[in-house]
Amino acid sequence: MELLGIDIGGSGIKGAIVDTEKGEFVQDRMRIPTPQPAKPEPVADVVNQIAEHFSWKGPIGCTFPAVVKHGVTLSAANVDDDWIGTDAKSLLQDTIGSPVVVLNDADAAGIAEVKFGAGKGRDGLIVILTLGTGIGSAFFMNGVLIPNTEFGHLKIRGKDAEDRASDRIRQEKDYSWKKWGKRLSEYFQYLEFLFTPDLFIIGGGVSKKYDKFFPYIDCNTEIVPAQLRNQAGIVGAAMAAKDLL
């Protein structure tokens, strides 16, 4: 089955038609820079441009960097605060003229990773963490998503975890891989204490260099790098759109 997935980010909005049985793009993705400021109506117009680029008329899955509940965006990360409390689902549907499902970006990436990537065939409790500007999270029990976890905002030594252990902090503070790995250890150990997961999957661009910092992470849970990389959000969004059929 082919469905359109769109990934809204703070710097770019990307979309592709996805074969949801294989987890692969059917053709090259389309990317348009995110309007600045990233207010709801201009962003919706760009999402519509992507749908028009693919001449798409069917269901669309759309990720968003926020807590999303029943299609309403309850927070805003790297986009304008006007999104807080916006009925994103209705806005996008009215703009595009197609049925839309909206979900958190890390949740979408997690859906793809559990189905086609590092979590494929794995049971139990899986925690997916994307290490980037912040820390995104997705939480799965036996393949079922528990949405909007926001584990990047757990408090470590009085600060949000993402303000101590994100890749942004590593770069800003010029931490060595060893020092950053120790900060990640503290964070992962706290997650272990709270949830006793069976598997950590680590995504984000820095996961391509996992061999540089994984050796310094000390925790009992198995840790593996994500496999779908920057395709995960689009693939997961398209998979979520299947629920509209």
SS3 assignment, position 4: strand
pLDDT of residue 208: 94
pLDDT of residue 230: 85
CATH 3.30.420.40 segments of the chain: 2-107+231-244, 121-227
CATH architecture of 121-227: 2-Layer Sandwich (3.30)
Cα separation, 226 vs 119, in Å, equals 8
* DSSP calls for 108-161: HHHHHHHHHSTTTT--SEEEEEEESSSEEEEEEETTEEE----GGGSEETTEET
SS3 assignment, position 221: coil
pLDDT of residue 193: 97
**Is the distance from CB of 21 to CB of 1 less than 8 angstroms?**
yes
pLDDT digits (tens, 9 = 90+) for 78-89: 899 999 999 999
What fold, for 2-107+231-244?
Nucleotidyltransferase; domain 5 (3.30.420)
Indicate the pLDDT class of residue 229, thresholds 50, 70 and 90. confident
pLDDT of residue 77: 84
The pLDDT of 196-204, averaged and rounded, is 97
CB atoms within 10 A of CB 213: 25
